[in-house]
Structure 1
Amino acid sequence: MNAETQVIDILLLGSGGREHALAKKLSESPRCGKLYIAPGNGGTLNVGENVAIDEADPEVVADFVKGAGIGLVVIGPEAPLVAGVADAVRALGVPCFGPGAAGAQLEGSKRFSKELMDRAGIPTAAYGSFDNEEDALAYVREQGAPLVVKADGLAAGKGVIVATELAEAENAVHECFSGAFGAAGATVVIEEMLVGPECSLLAFTDGITVCPMSTSQDHKRALEGDRGPNTGGMGAYSPVPIVTPEEHAEMERIMRVTVDQLRSEGIDYRGCLYGGFMLTAQGPKVLEYNARFGDPETQVVLPRLENDLVEVMLAVAEQRLADVELSWCDEWAVTVVLTSAGYPGSYEKGKVITGADEADAMDGVTVYHAGTTQEGDELLTSGGRVIAVTALGETFEAARDLSYAACDKIEFEGKTLRHDIGLRALRGREAWEQ
């Protein structure tokens, strides 16, 4: 057996719906031997072995990699990336999918990201960054609303406040500096509010070559009609029908410029680069960068990828991505997230989940577990975002209808969901201009 077909054992870090999607795709590869997921969830038990180690501790992960003879490490969430887990793995000479701590600052520090975009000439919102509340409030009052107030560090997707009124922006600044987001709010970035539809473009990159994935669009707000607080994501679809070829080409150009800028500054970025874009009247502008796969974008993008994911990730880790050509199925994908009552605020855990296997058995449907845990014969809720239900269809409408039909089969006390995932895109570009 040559090196190109050798079976390898894989360690995947993370516990959410994104990781279940990655685990399922990795397990489909003929190159995937033993698949460990740390710490995993109730769904990843079915495709690999969950291991109880601290995925954000570089030393702990490195020790496990050595002891288990791991041949590839895949890092799902942002916290291990920012903590430098990829650096510790690469120091062992083991292939790793995910940027080191330096590259992960693209997500770990919004100030770092904005300053890098400035240096690269990348179109993004005008901004100011502040280390104290007094100066931040003065900037807010000078600029006036609407504004977007962001905690600089990692805040699990919740440290971004879109303020349409001045008082709302002032309150957001106070919230950041009062410790609501912990150390993440010690620095605050305040941006102009861009207007237009959002679009996520994820890309594989080995630090030299950039291979964009298919477009997707997340639904961040908790309530229907894009109202309520920001969440980690309530649903998504892929591809995004309203994106023009010119916009797509510009987003790809921006992603390549970003990787070139990182490399020019001595940062070796290997993994997934996630570009969050606003499709403005002046063209696509970067809202934010993430240093990993999105959630729930992963759940709609990966089912449409026809390549062997292990092969692609090894090509990224070994800087051979120029040899890879990505292939996508023509079907549409829609995912709807089922959440615990109260999310993204406080919620109860331990609710019994029924119907997940029945939904997953439907033709064209995949159920991705996020906040679930298996206790004996029972599947229980253990998080805010509990399950993501993804459906593939020949048309956008067919995929959407199938996803909601599958959602109806799954029950747990307090189950909540948005019923309008994808509706806006079905109405066309003008839906964002009303």
Structure 2
Amino acid sequence: MSGGHSSYTPSTGIEKWVDARLPLPRLMYDSFVAYPVPRNLNYAYAFGGILAIMLVSQILTGVVLAMHYAADTGLAFNSVEKIMRDVNSGWLLRYLHSNGASMFFLAVYVHIFRGLYYGSYKAPRELLWILGVIILLLMMATAFMGYVLPWGQMSFWGATVITGFFTAFPVIGDPIQQLLLGGFAVDNPTLNRFFSLHYLLPFMIAGVVILHVWALHVTGQTNPTGIEVKSKTDTVAFTPYATVKDAFALVLFLILFAYFVFYMPNFMGHPDNYIQADSLKTPAHIVPEWYFLPFYAMLRAITFNIGPINSKLGGVLTMFGSIAILFIVPWLDTSKIRSAVYRPWYKLFFWLFVINAIMLGWLGSRPAEGLYTVFSQLGTAYYFGFFVVLMPLLGLIETPRRLPNSITEAVLGKTKSGGQLAGVAAAPETKG
């Protein structure tokens, strides 16, 4: 899928002149028009394009907002209010940007779950998956630093708590915290550092996204059956077939986005962030944005010492480990079958994993006490158990359903001999 002769033919003299010197039109044509994609892609595969649009939206609105923002502890809060009230369409820009962050994370989480369900991380796409996890990490860093910029109560105390995590690490913890803060407490140097990095990191994300798309075009797109393309009949041109489907999904997603922007713009925010930062008044409950809540729940789930590791360090290691483990997922899954469609036991445990992740998100918004802590510990155990225990074990003991011989056969629902597929009947793909 990734190779082959280009079908691009310049139609004008200018196109021929440009193509001979900088074949950018040829690259765009081969990548987004004639590029072959599996013919059985469903709407779960549309979120890659949605994420690209959301990244562009975040960068454009962020650049304009930065023109009016003052990265100073004495001015930051009022500058945000000035954007909302005095800048032409400033309220719209800010709500697009703040709600856009939530929509961005919603799309990326669906994208990750889709990858886990359809085995998009399996060989030869390991590097593609790793680049995706790097994008997730950069998004998290960008979102955290952006949340500090309004300089409200939750911004200030969120920065204080999160940067304080690093002090759990012996020897190196305090220097890292001081480097982030620019001193010994959250203050003006912190705000300047976070503003600079919040402005820079989206462009780094864009760079890694280019590598991510490049890696995708080298290895080819996966599909719901998990079968590689075997002939031209298994594929269709990206344009118009995939682009029409992606465009429809994008419209539905933008309708949801617009609903929050125009009708519930502060629904996913915290009311305390409309109170100016005050180092002498601690909010009753310090909670991060919703897209960090599952990881926050896992952080607080470790209330006990683990040998020489105290509970604080154990919680921080658990939180960072919940992201780090995603890097090795391609080597934890021992199954030869990619798609969960043909793996009944894996499918069951996967949906339990999704429910567990949602539960952890809810628990992260609750006080760290009583049964909330117990359920957080159980949820954390299942989160890591899914990757460390279930993935390797199911690949060895699970009996998968039969695979179709080709993507075309799966789409048409018939075998080459003309008989109907039973479930999806065809020659099974044996395990090693």
TM-score by length of 1: 0.23
Larger RCO (CA within 8 A; separation ≥ 6): 2
TM-score w.r.t. structure 2 length? 0.23
Bigger proportion of residues as helix: 2
> Which has more strand, going by share of residues?
1
